[in-house]
Amino acid sequence: MLARMFRPFRRLLPGLLLAAVATAAAASDYVVVRSSDPAILRGQAFDAGARLALGPGGTVTLMHASGDIVTFRGAAGGISLPRRAANPSDAERMAVLRFILAPAPRETAGRPTRARAGICPPVEALATLDQIVQVQQGGCGEAAAQALDAYLLSHGDAAP
């Protein structure tokens, strides 16, 4: 009887696996940290090898899924991003970082920040991208955003 109950789900399994693979393949390799071009927004994601219409005099700072930060200067025909693909296991972390970097109004009400699991950790204690992502997923969005800005400053981005 139990086998008959799960028979319909066996047909769905290949589709679910295909969806999981497609989601990992759709993950972007770079996210915009800062840009002098108003058409390229902070938090916007790009795949490795993508072509950006960044003209002469413009700059864009990107973070790779590995955490590396690179700055590009514009050219007459735009720029091509390096073909350095991200590890599929970094897809979830990249999605959270992209969410943190996306422009959104940040509210600070002057009260202690609390998360689902208690009080948020101090920003100074968040030194790695994985720690920042965990704090964001734990409900401490403001602490994660401040920690990511500090991380970017310490790893080569001069102005968040």
Q: Is residue 43 part of a domain?
A: yes
Residue 3 belongs to some domain of the structure: no
**CA 6/CA 151 separation, integer angstroms:** 47
Lookup result for tokens 């979830």:
92
At residue 57, what is the residue type? Answer: G
H helix or E strand, kind and range, residue 64? strand 59-64
At 18, is the pLDDT very low, low, confident or very high (cuts 50, 70, 90)?
very low
Domain for residue 14, yes or no? Answer: no
pLDDT tens per residue across span 107-128: 544 444 555 556 888 899 898 9
Contact present, 67 and 133 (Cβ < 8 Å):
no
| Average pLDDT rounded to a whole number, residues 73-97 | 83
pLDDT at 144 over 70: yes
Task: Please write the tens of the pLDDT for every residue from 24-83.
Answer: 445 688 899 999 998 999 999 998 889 999 999 999 999 888 888 899 999 998 999 988
Q: Determine, yes or no, domain membership for 112.
A: yes
Report the distance separating Cα 93 and Cα 99, nearest Å: 10
Residues spanned by the domain of 86: 26-154
Question: What's the confidence (pLDDT) of residue 13?
Answer: 40
pLDDT at 139 over 80: yes
Q: Would you say residue 85 has pLDDT above 70?
A: no
**Within a domain: residue 120?**
yes
Pairwise CA distance, residues 26 & 128, whole Å: 24
- Does 4 fall in a domain? no
Whether residue 114 lies inside any domain: the answer is yes
Does residue 118 lie within any of the structural domains?
yes
Number of domains in the chain: 1
Predicted confidence (pLDDT) at residue 91 exceeds the cutoff of 60 = yes
Contact 135, 143 (CB under 8 A): yes
